[in-house]
Amino acid sequence: MPDLAIIIPSVLNGITTGALYALVALGLTLIYGVLHIINFAHGALLMLGLYAVYYLKARFGIDPYVALLIVPPAMFALGYALQRGIIGRASHGRDENILLVTLGLAIVIENLSLFFFRSDTRIIDTPYSFETVDILGAFLPLPKVVAFAGAIVTAALLWLVMARTDLGRAIRAVAKEKKGAALVGIDTDHVYAMSYGLGIACLGVAACLLLPSYYVNPQVGHGFVLIAFTIVVLGGMGSFVGALIGGFVIGVIEAMGGLFLGESLGQIGIFAIFILVLIFRPTGLLGHRV
């Protein structure tokens, strides 16, 4: 049994990793929790965001944290266009169709990326990439600590938008009662597209905060899709706080799993949880009882 000196840093690392997962999951929480769209393209779109941040740094020398001003708005526009132009048209009323369409989009995006960017893994070099912060005796990489803060700020911003702005009210209205919302004059297509765009913008934020401590290649999205879904399901399908907490929990479980079971097997813990939660408590740990 490893002693506390190993466990605590592992837990803290897990929490900061979990924050990154939570960032990815926040967008999915909005898209699935509110719109009931299973966005299979989530990982692929994250990957696009990561490439964008990468090229901004590699070609133009723009720091990822500065790219926060560029990438999220661009991703928002992309998301809006995708929902309005493709996803929205394909559903024909069936949930599974959206699943298939976003799967198709994911395949297209990933493979076009493979074609254009080739399969090499790339990382960026920033002056702070290897700086660490000492917390409770654990030396946590600075980028991950920044990501942790970023996740909380993003969640707070999302909550503000949903609770206090007209757009947020419209989104909630459409999520609850689509026909009624249309009857009172809300342009539901536009609202759906705005919501999807917002969710993808979150991925842009995630990409900016993630790349300094991570890497990018065309397959990088795969690892995040199921984890993001697990967090959404765990956290209650629509609760941002739930997604944050879910992210931390998953991060810690992964760290613990890695500690006790080894790198590769550690991931199994996450999927096992996903399966169990879906089977026994599909509204998540924080969701309402169905």
- Residue 229 interacts with another protein (CB under 8 A): yes or no: yes
List the interface residues with another protein, window 249-268 (CB under 8 A).
262, 264-265, 267-268
Written as one string, the DSSP assignment of 54-108 is HHHHHHH---HHHHTTTHHHHHHHHHHHHIIIIIHHH-TT-HHHHHHHHHHHHHH
User: Considering the complex, what minimum distance in angstroms separates the CB of residue 37 from another protein?
Assistant: 9
- Cα 121 to Cα 24, 59, 164, 217, 235, distances in angstroms: 20, 16, 41, 5, 32
- Residue 7 interacts with another protein (CB under 8 A): yes or no: no
Binding another protein (rule: CB under 8 A), the pick from 51, 80, 196, 274 is 274
Residues near 3 by beta carbon (within 8 Å), at least 6 away in sequence:
none
List the interface residues with another protein, window 72-111 (CB under 8 A).
86, 89-90, 92, 95-97, 99-101, 103-111
For the CA atoms of 129, 133, 139, 145, the dihedral, rounded to the nearest 10 degrees, stands at -70
List the interface residues with another protein, window 31-70 (CB under 8 A).
38
User: Residue 28 CA to chain centroid, in angstroms?
Assistant: 6
User: Considering the complex, what minimum distance in angstroms separates the CB of residue 97 from another protein?
Assistant: 5
Residue 216 pairs with which residues in a beta bridge?
122
The number of helices, as runs of H, and strands, as runs of E, in the chain is: 14, 2
User: Considering the complex, what minimum distance in angstroms separates the CB of residue 142 from another protein?
Assistant: 31
List the interface residues with another protein, window 113-142 (CB under 8 A).
113-115, 118-119
Of the candidate spans 2-10, 15-23, 194-202, 272-280, the one that interacts with another protein by CB under 8 A turns out to be 272-280
Residue 158 CA to residue 179 CA, distance in Å, equals 25
- Residue 285 interacts with another protein (CB under 8 A): yes or no: no
Query: Which chain residues interact with another protein by CB under 8 A?
Result: 38, 86, 89-90, 92, 95-97, 99-101, 103-115, 118-119, 218, 222, 226, 229, 262, 264-265, 267-268, 271-272, 274-275, 278-280, 282
